[in-house]
A and B are shown apart, each in its own frame.
Chain A
Amino acid sequence: MSVRHALLALLSEGPKYGLQLQKEFEARTGEVWPLNVGQVYTTLQRLERDGFVESDENGEGPQNSFHITTAGEGELDQWLHTPPDLSSPPRDELVIKVLVALRVPDIDVFEVIQSHRRYLVQLMQQWTRLKEDESDLDISFALVVDAELYRLDSVIRWLDTAEGRLKRASLEPPKPAQLPLPKMRRNIGVRP
C-alpha cells in the first residue's frame, strides 16, 4: 500500500491538514490499514521535498495544511495508470513449503497442503463474517474484504490444483531422469 500516493489522492480533492489526512486515509481504506499521524507528516515532508505538495505558509504543525502541485497531480495520474509489477512470480513462502515437503522423508505432502488449506478457509470465514451484515457495509470496506477473499481463495485453488496434480503423479509410473530445465524456465525472474 503506497501511503505516498494515497495522500496525493486525498489532496487532489483540495487542501487538507495532516490529522484530517490520517482520518480520511483510514476511512477510505475501510479502516483496515491504520496509519499513525507521524507517518503522515514524514510522508508529507518527502512529498514536499519532491515538489508534489506544498504547505500553507501561515500554519505550523497540526495547523499546517497542504495542497497538491501540478507535478503532484502528474505523479498521481501516472501511478494510477501504471500496473504493479506482476510479470514474474513472487517468492511465495507457501509454494516453497509445498515444494520442500515433497523432498522431506516422512512428511505427508497432502497433510501439509490440508493444514494450509484449513488455515486459509478459517481466515476466509473471519473475512466473510465482516460482510455478513450488509446494512452497515461501507463500500470501501466491502471492496477491501472482497479483495482479501479473492486473494485467499486463489491460494486455496492453487492448493487444490497442487493436490490433484500430486495425486495423479503418484499414480503414474516413474519417469526417466529429468532433463535440464529449458532455458525459458531458467530465465524467469523471481521477485524477492
Chain B
Amino acid sequence: MSYLEMRYVTKEYGEGSNEVRALSDINLSVDEGSLVAVMGASGSGKSTLLTIAGSLEEPTSGDVLVGGVALSKMSRNDKARMRRRSVGFVFQDYNLLAGLSAVENVSLPLELDGIPAKKARVAGMNALEELGLADRASRYPDQLSGGERQRVSIARAVVGERRLLLADEPSGALDSANGEAVMRLVLAACRRGVAAVVVTHDAQLASWADRVIFLRDGHIVDQTIPPSGPESLLQSTPHQ
C-alpha cells in the first residue's frame, strides 16, 4: 500500500521573468516497506522534491498524500503533528542538537509530541539499540564519529511510529564503509515496513533501493525496472 503519493506536483519560485520551475508534474508513489532513490544532478529538483514530500514546503500545484491524507487538507498544526509523528528526516550534516546526548536527540521528537520524558527515553534507547549504538547513548554529538552521528540521526528518524523516512544525501560526508552502513540501516527500516525516499547523486547509494527515479530539470525522466535476481550475474565469464 502506498504511504507517500505525489500527484502532479509542480513547484515554482519567483514570479514573471524571474520565475524558476523547480519541479514539473511529479507523480511518485512510495509503498510501505519500499525504498526509493531519487537520482539527479545538482539543481535537478531532488531536494525540493524531498522537502515537499515532508511538508516542509508547499507545492505550487498538485497534491501530496502521506498515509492517505492530503497535505493540502491539513492545517499548519496538523502538518506539524504529522511531521513529528510520521515523518523522519535524515540530512547530510546530521542536524543533531549539540547540547543533547545521543539518546536525548533521538527521544526529543517524541517528547515534543507530548510523550512523557521517561517513555520517550525508553523508545529512544530502543531505537539506538536496534542500530547498535546503545553504548553511545550518553555521548554528545562532538564525542561521536561522523558515521555514529549519522546512525543517531537515522535512529531519530525512525523512533516511535514513524512510517516515512526522507533522506537527503545521507552519506555525503561519510567514507564508503560508513555510507554502506547507513544504507543498510535505511533498508532495514524499510524491511520493518517504513517507506523511504533517499535523494542522492551517488549510484552506489541508489543501488540499495528497490526502485531508482531519475530527475532532470525538475522532471522525472526515467526509472529503473525492478531488477531481476542477482543469479543472472553469476553466469559464465570469459577468461583470458
Contact = CB atoms under 8 A, between A and B. Distances in A.
Contacts of A1: 237, 239-240
Interface in A147-172: 149-150, 152-153, 156-157, 160, 163-164
B203 A122 contact: no
Contact of A125 (B184, B209, B221): B209
B240 A118 contact: no
Contact of A124 (B187, B203, B216): B203
Contacts, number: 84
Interface residues of B, number: 30
Q: What DSSP secondary structure best describes chain A's contact surface?
A: helix
26 contacts: A1-B240, A2-B239, A3-B240, A31-B234, A33-B237, A33-B239, A34-B236, A34-B237, A110-B216, A114-B216, A114-B221, A115-B222, A117-B214, A118-B223, A121-B224, A123-B227, A124-B203, A127-B233, A128-B204, A128-B207, A129-B229, A130-B230, A130-B233, A153-B203, A157-B203, A160-B41
A44 to B, nearest CB: 14
Interface string B196-240: 000001011011110010101000011111011110111011011
Contacts of B228: 126
Contacts of B201: 160
Query: Which are the 3 A-B pairs with shortest beta-carbon distances?
Result: A124-B207, A128-B207, A125-B227
Contacts of B204: 124, 128, 149-150, 153
A163 B237 CA distance: 31
Interface of B: 39, 41, 184, 187, 201, 203-204, 206-209, 212, 214, 216, 221-225, 227-230, 232-234, 236-237, 239-240
A121 B206 contact: yes
Nearest to A146: B176
